Amino acid sequence: MSLIPTLTETLSRARADLRMGLPVVIGGYLAAAVETVSADRVAAMRALGPAVLAVTSWRAETLKARVYDGDVARIEVPLDADPRWLRAVADPAGDLMTPMKGPLRSARGGDAQPHRAAIALAKSAQLLPAVLMVPIADAPEGLTHLTAGPALAQLATEAALAPVAAARLPLLSAENSKLHIFRPDNGEAEHYAIEIGAPHRDQPVLARLHSACFTGDVLGSLKCDCGPQLHAALNAMGQAGEGVLLYLNQEGRGIGLANKMRAYALQNQGFDTVEANHRLGFEDDERDFRIGAGILRKMGFGAVRLMTNNPRKVTMLEGHGIRVAERVPLITPRNRHNTGYLDVKAQKSGHLL
């Protein structure tokens, strides 16, 4: 067995580096996440050459910056720009207060793959997708090195999931329950499966793929329908005597809790849930639904009666080898805080509510 880190391992390191504010080397560029990099490091990087800020086309659109590279844009960092400028371009929190950051110029021509890989890495680290990039000939010792193409391909690859531990866990909604922990091989968050009763593996199982929502599931937030959906699903499985609920750690539709709170702050300014994601530079849904399909397969389930209002979950499961024998709607009460959110999900994300 080789002791040299694999690409998956190197990517996991690179993710941790970005979160710590350390630059990584991607295809001839030093790349650092604007959100975490210190002013000193920014100065040291910019002393090396002309800097650009890699952002997604969504963020560029809000900033009125030209997009020449499809899904990413390379915004030129003016020589007199200070770290505050970088943050203001990266983070939409102050967009309404200080709309003028420009005129912004976008770099054109040449290879944008390193920038695309840097954005994908920042997203996978659940950081704002805005990366400061400077070309470099000889990188200092000790930095993590990546090649753009393979890094991008690996980041898009389905993670392998290993069962780690399982034990009985009697629940209020179902005494005969078991909690299973699954660990992905890419260093990302673990996911959980709650198995209720002893469902047959050769029949469609009552199932729910629930994405983590700290605010709704734990705190009882009234802004979304997550908490009531979680409990309604567990109760239905308890009553039926069997079922499987996957608790997927894809907080905030995959952008992480910090970014979800940024999105909520934008919602306080009047943007809806989809617009807020876009202004931050994210897609409206960044979840990888293959994880759910992978866990179901690992547990021996090939067909489900899926509790969801989201038709994308149905298509994604079917596309990844799990037959959806039936879609079971999961409608929970509206209140004055979540009604707008539910309407936007229905209008923009195709939820059947």
Ligand X SMILES: Nc1nc2c(ncn2[C@@H]2O[C@H](COP(=O)(O)OP(=O)(O)OP(=O)(O)O)[C@@H](O)[C@H]2O)c(=O)[nH]1
Q: Is 310 in the site for ligand X (CB under 6 A)?
A: yes
Residue 201 annotated as lining a ligand binding site: no
Contact 136, 96 (CB under 8 A): no
3-class DSSP state for residue 47? coil
Separation CA 292–CA 287 (nearest Å): 10
**26/224 with CB nearer Zn ion:** 224
* CB atoms inside a 10 Å sphere around CB 146: 26
Instruction: Give the residue, chosen from 118, 273, 295, 301, that forms a contact with ligand X under the rule CB under 6 A.
Output: 273
The answer to whether 139 is a known ligand-binding residue is no
How long a stretch of residues is the chain? 353
Q: Determine, following the binding rule CB under 6 A, whether residue 211 of this chain makes contact with ligand X.
A: yes
Q: Taking CB within 5 to 8 Å according to partner kind, which of Zn ion, ligand X, none is near residue 229?
A: ligand X
Sequence-distant (6+) residues with CB within 8 A of 344 are 272, 273, 274
Binding mask of the shown chain, residues 215 to 254, with x at each position contacting Zn ion by CB under 5 A: -x-------x-x----------------------------
Distance CA 254, CA 249 (A): 8
User: Applying CB under 6 A, which of residues 155, 212, 236, 237 lies at the interface with ligand X?
Assistant: 212
Q: What are phi and psi of 234, to 5 degrees?
A: -65, -40
Environment class of 306 (CB within 10 Å of its CB; exposed 0-12, middle 13-18, buried 19+): buried
Q: Contacts with ligand X in 275-294 (CB under 6 A)?
A: 277
Q: Locate tokens 């709704």: which residue?
A: 216
- Given the complex with Zn ion, which of 59 and 210 has the nearer CB atom? 210
Q: Least distance to ligand X from the beta carbon of 265, Å?
A: 11
Please give the Cα distance from 125 to 28 (Å, whole number): 21
List binders of Zn ion among 153-172 (CB under 5 A).
none
When the beta carbons of 104 and 224 are compared against ligand X, the nearer one is 224
**Segment contacting ligand X by CB under 6 A, of 45-53, 191-199, 304-312, 314-322:** 304-312
* Nearest by Cα to 255 from 129, 340, 87: 129
Q: Does 229 bind ligand X (CB under 6 A)?
A: yes
Question: Rounded CA gap, 289 and 156, in Å?
Answer: 12
Asked about 285 being catalytic, the answer comes back as yes
Q: Give helix 113-124 / helix 148-155 axis angle, nearest 10°.
A: 40
Please choose, out of 56-64, 91-99, 142-150, 253-261, the segment that lies near ligand X by the rule CB under 6 A.
253-261
Interface pick for ligand X out of 22, 25, 148, 213 (rule CB under 6 A): 213
How many residues line the site for ligand X (CB under 6 A)? 22
Q: Work out whether the CA dihedral 167, 171, 177, 183 comes out positive or negative.
A: negative
Q: Please tell me whether residue 253 binds ligand X under the rule CB under 6 A.
A: yes
Q: Is 190 annotated as a binding residue?
A: no
Please give the residues from 178 up to 217 whose contact with Zn ion meets the rule CB under 5 A: 213, 216
Q: Which of 105, 285, 297, 343 is catalytic?
A: 285
Distances (CA, A) of 64 to 25, 101, 214, 267, 298: 28, 10, 34, 21, 46
Residue 31, classified by CB atoms within 10 Å of its CB into exposed (0-12), middle (13-18) or buried (19+), is buried
Considering beta carbons, is residue 27 or 252 the nearer one to Zn ion?
252
Chain residues in the site for Zn ion (CB under 5 A): 213, 216, 224, 226
Catalytic machinery residues? 285, 287
Chain residues in the site for ligand X (CB under 6 A): 210-213, 224, 226, 229, 250-253, 255, 260, 263, 273, 277, 308-310, 313, 330, 351
* Binding region: 208-213, 224, 226, 229, 251-253, 273, 308, 313
* Binding region for GTP: 208-212, 229, 251-253, 273, 308, 313
